[in-house]
Amino acid sequence: MNAVALKHVRPFTLALVVLALAVLANMLTAGSVWAAPMVPQAPVEPGDGGGLSVEINGPNGTPSSAIVTLIAITLLSVAPALLLMMSSFTKIFVVLAMTRNALALPTIPPNQVLAGLALFLSLFIMSPVLTQMNDLGVQPYLAGTLDFTQAMEVGVKPLADFMLAHTREADIALMTRAADLPNPESAADVPLTTLIPAFMISELRAAFIIGFVIFVPFLIIDLVVSSALMSMGMMMLPPVMISLPFKILLFVLVDGWGLIITALIGSYRLGG
């Protein structure tokens, strides 16, 4: 290596040495900081306000907002099951679906429309029951006059009375025998585990009876159209293509949707 190369290498080497010494000094200083002993903290007593605590009751005996939020989220998660099992939704939806099939329109109206109509009709029918449940159970619980168990016992009673009013005794007896339970002394003694499936069976039975009545006039139209086509020798023409316009025309002339909805609402008012 010549003198010119050594002249350029020596300053570079010196700079590396200085940089290494600086990094080493920094590490020693940081190590001394890391190695500094930590001052022990005194343990937190239960009454000092530290730690995690969940208060069930708020001020003046009212439930805390966290508990109310938890109950609301739980009800929202089971709301579809409660809507299907303990309200008029199932009966209304089945009747509307059977009406659609009787018209030979399997996708018109779509399921979303039928479900929305059934939902709001159920809210309309169940509004007195929901009002009583709110007045007897929910509001006293939020005000702190009833605890959760008492609010559940009092708040469920209007819903149980509604289901009892629209459940056949034969269906209650069927579920009682299936569960191998003793016969209840009165309707008020029927447990919810027996009442809910009995109510659903009664609702499905009533829905199929209404559906059968709806099917009869449309079946007559199909028979008349089929007989007319057979008598004219037009056997290759599907009868549904001819009968469908007459079905729609008849349904519109008699205000079919209005009659069905009026009958559904009236069945609950008469039953209650």
Q: What is the pLDDT of residue 18?
A: 47
Decide: 239 and 226 in contact? Cβ < 8 Å.
yes
Work out the angle between the directed axes of helices 111-133 and 148-165 (0-180°, nearest 10).
Answer: 120
Helix (H, G, I), strand (E, B) or coil at 57: strand
DSSP count for the chain of H helices, then E strands = 10, 0
If we measure between CA atoms, which residue out of 126, 116, 97 comes closest to residue 260?
97
Tokens of 92: 């209304």
Instruction: Please state, in angstroms and rounded to a whole number, the distance separating the CA atoms of residues 126 and 200.
Output: 16
Please tell me the predicted confidence (pLDDT) of residue 231: 79
Q: What pLDDT is recorded for position 31?
A: 45
Measured CA to CA, the distance from residue 125 to residue 159 in angstroms comes to 12
The dihedral over CA atoms of 108, 110, 115, 120, expressed in degrees to the nearest 10, equals -70
**Widest distance between CA atoms in the chain:** 122
pTM of the complete model: 0.66
Please give the pLDDT value at position 183.
81
Strand, helix or coil at 207?
helix
Residue whose pair of structure tokens reads 């005000």 in the numeric block = 143
pLDDT per residue as tens, the chain (272 positions): 444 444 444 554 544 444 455 544 444 444 444 444 544 555 545 544 445 455 555 555 566 566 667 666 766 666 666 667 778 888 999 999 999 888 888 888 888 889 888 888 888 888 888 888 888 877 777 777 777 677 778 888 888 888 888 888 888 888 888 878 888 777 777 887 888 888 889 999 999 999 899 988 888 888 888 888 777 777 777 777 778 888 888 888 888 888 889 888 888 875 44
- Tokens 């940081």 label which residue? 30
Q: How far apart are CA 101 and CA 159, in angstroms?
A: 32
